[in-house]
Amino acid sequence: MKYNKKRRIIGFFVTIVALVFLILFAIRTGSLDIGIIDLLKALFIEADEKVGIVVDLRLPRIIISVVGGFAIGVSGTLFQSVMKNPLADPGLLGVSSGASLTFILMIWLFPGLFFIAPLMAFIGGLAACFLVYSLAWKGGLDAMRIILVGIAVNAVFLALIETAQKVSAGGRVIENVVTGNLSFKNWNHVTTLVIYATVFIIIAFLLSSRCDIIAMDDRTIASLGMNVNVLKIQISVVAVFLAAISTVILGTVSFLGLLAPWIGRLVVGSEHKYLIPYSMLAGGFILLLADTVGRTVAYPAEISVGVIMAVVGGPFFIALLKRTGGKYAK
Amino acid sequence: MQNNRTSFQIKSLIFSVESTNIIRDISVDIEEGKITSIIGPNGSGKSTLLQLLTKNYKRTSGDILIKGNSIDKIKGKEFAREVAIVNQDNTPPLDTTVRKLVSYGRIPYKKISLTTMDEEDEKVVDWALEITGLTELAGKDVSSLSGGQRQRAWIAMSLAQKTGILFLDEPTTYLDIKYQMDILNIVKELNEIHNITIVMVLHDINQAIKYSHNIIAMKDGKIHSVGNAKSMITPDLVEDIYQVKVDTFEIDGIKYIVSF
């Protein structure tokens, strides 16, 4: 077997260590330089003003990057398993922009209902997913057609988001949702994201054997007595929720859902009980890296994480399309 | 007309897609404990018939009965405990060992945790691997196997379903002659030793004559003729179905066909 135990263990170990170091690096890098020991001292022994700023401003965005990256990495893996195609990504499929459009409309038109906004974003993401699936339906769900329809639907949603933004005279919140800006995140955002993401990532882990099974032909799955559509919907719902919750907190981040499982397959192989946790780690690492680069590379200006991911992810998507186009095109 | 020796009863079966009839009024019984081969030219509806019998396609009208019960009444996993099918052109899932693939055949016996295997399941998987000669290859990746080995792995998965009836859609297509023989001998053993009713679509008429008890010959979505495999195939019948002239030759008293 190509992906033996040793290779997997090394893969997980290296990635976890790299993630921990990146988190530590991100904590101490920025307009205020603090040492890790100072931070730990301030957190557990005595309060320090400088450290307090870091804890209030920098720490939330670091946690959000990592956990949001976890959610998007897992979401992308689930979408790719359902689509049986490594080019599926919640951003490209219009799921994230559908969630974000719903979220924007909610907070613009019904600002009082902010607390149920994540739920509405989830419903918006589901609706977008359903719209794409049904537009792509032609006697069955062909993955290539889903992706093409998804790109078109995504473009429409992005235009509507921009319109909503202009009409509503550009509130700060809306701008953050659109471009994936991680400034101005506080501990409330952290709590919301961490609770929802944890629950749904655990559900995703429990679905890992179903994700393996779905890699077989639909008729073979059906011949084992399973309802293929129910299976696809189960996995899609979890994937949509993870994409929606991360979009609400982080904004639209494209290509991360593509990149994380792609790296995962290289390192730990296609078995989902390894691929899902690994893609989770890879997603968190990449997103935190993108955010850290974004806030340091052009300091004092900030480049949003959504922009960084698009700049890196776009060319990567094209390369992946060229490599796998022949294999996956029908 | 129903008797204990009937496994499947097909009654006035019609299947149409966009008002074109693909299967045009078929009625036939499939005998229990026997090997039945379906032959016919490309596009005659052989594979479609198999997909209808295994509930993969939904018929337009007519009825299909298993031991007197309509297949509509037998749901999902219960049906998969009665009937197994090995399809054509199966995509091997990546990073999946032969043993893992075969163990998927136990899914019809599972409820929530689909891949938790108990002792009984492991025994059945061992049995399926042994019959198909895959015991040595159990730890290998399915995608690394040859075409013939892979076909055996799919058969083993179906066997793990422990059904009384097994359908095979062109199990020997794309295989070279050695692997074709391998597969057909496994099929024969399954029928003779393990008493599994076999229904398969075959392209090779002589293989159908040699390896089956009954043959269903199809043409244009209808049944042209049904009968004893060892005696029903004649040059006239072949010409009628395939529009080619053939000669016959005899081995051990059974007539086979040859064409040039």
B6-258 — its CATH code? 3.40.50.300
Tell me the pLDDT band of A117, cut-offs 50, 70 and 90: confident
Interchain proximity A225–B54, CB inside 8 Å? no
Lowest mean pLDDT among A12-21, A37-46, A154-163, A190-199: A37-46
Q: Both tokens of residue B58?
A: 């939904």
Find the CB nearest A270 among B56, B95, B113.
B95
Rounded to whole angstroms, the Cα distance separating A279 from B210 reads: 53
Single out the residue of B195, B184, B196, B193 nearest to residue B83, CA to CA.
B196
pLDDT beyond 80 at A324: no
Contact flag B87-A226 (C-beta cutoff 8 Å): no
Of residues B17 and A51, more confidence is placed in B17
Helix/strand/coil (H, E, C) string of chain A? CCCCHHHHHHHHHHHHHHHHHHHHHHHHCCCCCCCHHHHHHHHHCCCCHHHHHHHHHHHHHHHHHHHHHHHHHHHHHHHHHHHCCCCCCCCCCCHHHHHHHHHHHHHHHCHHHHHHHHHHHHHHHHHHHHHHHHHHCCCCCCHHHHHHHHHHHHHHHHHHHHHHHHHCCCCHHHHHHHHCCCCCCCHHHHHHHHHHHHHHHHHHHHCHHHHHHCCCCHHHHHHCCCCHHHHHHHHHHHHHHHHHHHHHHHCCCCCHHHHHHHHHHHHHCCCHHHHHHHHHHHHHHHHHHHHHHHHHCCCCCCCCHHHHHHHHHHHHHHHHHHHHHHHHCC
Mean pLDDT of B72-90: 92
Say yes or no for a CB contact (<8 Å) between A1 and B80: no
Question: What is the predicted pLDDT for the residue at B186?
Answer: 96
CA atoms within 13 A on the CB side of B8: 27
A223 and B56 within 8 Å at the Cβ level: the answer is yes
What confidence score (pLDDT) does residue A114 get?
Answer: 67
Report the 10 Å Cβ neighbour count for B108: 24
**pLDDT tens for each residue of B201-235:** 999 999 999 999 999 999 999 999 999 999 999 99
Quick one: pLDDT at residue A209? 94
Percent of chain A with pLDDT over 70: 88
Reply yes or no on whether the pLDDT at A327 is more than 70: no
Q: Is the pLDDT at B6 greater than 90, yes or no?
A: no
Confidence (pLDDT) at A326: 45
Domains contained in chain A, CATH given: 58-328 (1.10.3470.10)
Q: Residues of B at the A interface (Cβ-Cβ below 8 Å)? A: 51, 54-56, 76-81, 84-85, 87, 90-91, 93-97, 104-105, 107-108, 113-115, 139-141, 158, 161
pLDDT band at residue A2 under the 50/70/90 scheme: low
Q: Give the gyration radius of chain B's Cα atoms.
A: 19
* A89-101 mean pLDDT: 88
Q: Is the pLDDT of residue A176 over 60?
A: no
A304/B124: higher pLDDT: B124
For residue B91, which residues of chain A lie inside 8 Å, CB to CB?
215-217
Domain ranges of chain B: 6-258
In Å, how far are A34, A266, B28, B36, B56 from B31, measured between CA atoms? 82, 50, 10, 8, 21
C-beta atoms of B141 and A2 within 8 A: yes
Nearest to B149 by CA among B129, B161, B136, B134: B134
* Average pLDDT, integer, range A226-239: 92
Q: How confident is the model at residue A118 (pLDDT cuts 50, 70, 90)?
A: confident
CB atoms B141 and A1 under 8 Å: yes
Give the least confident one: A65-74, A187-196, B241-250. Answer: A187-196
Between chains, do A225 and B79 touch, taking CB under 8 Å as contact?
Answer: yes
pLDDT in tens, A46-79: 767 777 777 777 888 899 999 999 999 999 999 9
Model pLDDT for residues A148-170, shown as the tens digit of each residue: 898 899 999 989 988 887 777 65
What are the pLDDT digits (tens) for B37-77? Answer: 999 999 899 999 999 999 989 999 999 999 888 999 998 89
Residue of chain B whose Cα is closest to the Cα of A266: B95
Contact residues, chain B, for A270 at CB < 8 Å: 93-95
List, as ranges, residues 170-229 from A with C-beta within 8 Å of B: 209-210, 212-213, 215-217, 219-220, 222-227
Contact B114 A209 (CB under 8 A): yes
Q: Calculate mean pLDDT across residues B234-247.
A: 93
Q: Please give the share of chain B, as a percent, with pLDDT higher than 90.
A: 81
Predicted pLDDT at A183: 61
Across-strand partners of B23? B15
Asked whether the predicted pLDDT for residue A179 surpasses 60, the reply is no
> pTM for the whole thing?
0.88
Please identify which residue in the block is written with the tokens 């499982």: A261
The C-alpha atoms of residue A16 and residue B119 are separated, in whole angstroms, by 36
User: Above 0.85 for ipTM, yes or no?
Assistant: yes
Task: Report the first-to-last Cα separation within chain B, whole angstroms.
Answer: 42
Residue numbers of A between 226 and 255 with CB closer than 8 Å to B: 226-227
B153-206 pLDDT per residue, tens:
999 999 999 999 999 999 998 899 999 999 999 999 999 999 999 999 999 999
B80 vs A225: CB contact, 8 Å cut-off? yes
Mutation site for B-interface testing, chosen from A209, A214, A217, A220 by largest number of B Cβ within 10 Å:
A220
